Amino acid sequence: MPLARADVVAIDMHVHPQTEEFVASMGPRATQMAAYFGRPADKPVSFAELADQYRERKMLAVLLNTTDVASSGRRAVSNDVIAQAVKSHPDVFIGFGVIEPQLGHLARDEIRRCAEELGLLGIGELNPGRQAFYPNEERYYPLWEEAARHKLVLLFHGGMMGAGAGTPGGLGYKLKYCRPIPYLDDIAADFPELNIVGAHPAWPWQEESLAIARHKTNFYIDLSGWAPRYFPSQLVQYAGTILQDRMLFGSDWPVMQVERWLDEFERLPIKPDVRPKIMLENARHLLQLA
């Protein structure tokens, strides 16, 4: 049975598809990530299975694409695959496409295609660390302008990353690119009409993300990829009070199991009237869903 929009209780803003094609595209990162997070390597999960899981939870899932062809040489899964998954399961899936910013005009064309032809609602997860770029460089501004023109949300990875973690040299990925200020703050300032999501609590720069969200209403934080029981008290305090309209539930599945996130979030001292905002309302507003 398709999930009726009126029955939706939450929107998971951060879901990484794990079909055979996506797992294959990760290359050695698949086993490295599994080892780092202390779990067996991911078994492929089809879109149909994933859709059923979210139907059961009465949740929408924002499917993110990802790429790092410039640093790894491995080709990303086409954004068409995400679009097709949304087409097959429109009751539970929302899709974001991804681009390689260094490709210039091609990247710009792909942003337009994501919006106009594929019906995707955002671009992400952009990972400045794995893609080796500073988002605030002016040469990328035409890309963000294009995203703004099509009202696409931009979702950037922030802070430490699981990718490469626990290996000598971290697979060559540099954390310096993943800092919220100035890289994301600059874009948020220069494109006030563009909505930006800083993904994850962004450790060790959590305060920077909180500051941007406090300062600029077009900046959101997704709480994915981090076990809520380890959320620093300052994050919990802001999420429950002055930033309650800017925080988004996200799991980062398969890195974080959805039920674990929900269970631990339930135990945090956040008032019952704020919880539906974080779980559903803020994302609905951001994605302009009816």
Question: Which of 12, 27, 34 lies closest to 68, judged by CA?
Answer: 27
Q: 14 vs 108, which CB is nearer to Zn ion?
A: 14
Q: What is the dihedral of CA 75, 11, 250, 99, to 10 degrees?
A: 30
Segment holding 124, helix H or strand E? strand 122-126
130 binds Zn ion (CB under 5 A): no
Q: In the complex with Zn ion, which residue's Cβ is closer, 121 or 199?
A: 199
Nearer to Zn ion (CB atom), residue 128 or residue 152: 128
- Interface positions, 173-212, toward Zn ion (CB under 5 A): 199
Select from 57, 89, 157, 277 the one that contacts Zn ion (CB under 5 A).
157
Task: Give the shortest CB-102-to-Zn ion separation in angstroms.
Answer: 19
CB of 162 to Zn ion, least distance (A): 8
Residue 94: its H or E element: strand 93-97
Nearest distance from C-beta of residue 157 to Zn ion, angstroms: 4
Q: Which residue is nearest to Zn ion (CB)?
A: 157
Cβ-based nearer residue to Zn ion, 103 or 165: 165
Find the shortest distance in angstroms from Cβ 225 to Zn ion: 6
Helix 183-190 to helix 141-149 angle, to the nearest 10 degrees? 50
CA 3 – CA 184 distance, rounded (Å): 35
The secondary structure of 216-285 as a DSSP string is: -TTEEEE--SS-GGG--HHHHHHHHTTTTTTEE----BTSS-HHHHHHHHHTSS--TTTHHIIIIIHHHH
Q: Which is nearer to Zn ion, 199 or 248 (CB)?
A: 199
Kindly tell me which of 8 and 154 has the beta carbon lying closer to Zn ion: 154
Judged by CB under 5 A, the stretch of 71-79, 150-158, 233-241, 255-263 that binds Zn ion is 150-158
- Least distance to Zn ion from the beta carbon of 117, Å? 26
Using the rule CB under 5 A, give the single segment among 100-108, 155-163, 183-191, 261-269 that binds Zn ion.
155-163
Torsion over CA: 150, 151, 152, 155 (sign): positive
What does the binding site for Zn ion look like in residue numbers (CB under 5 A)? 157, 199
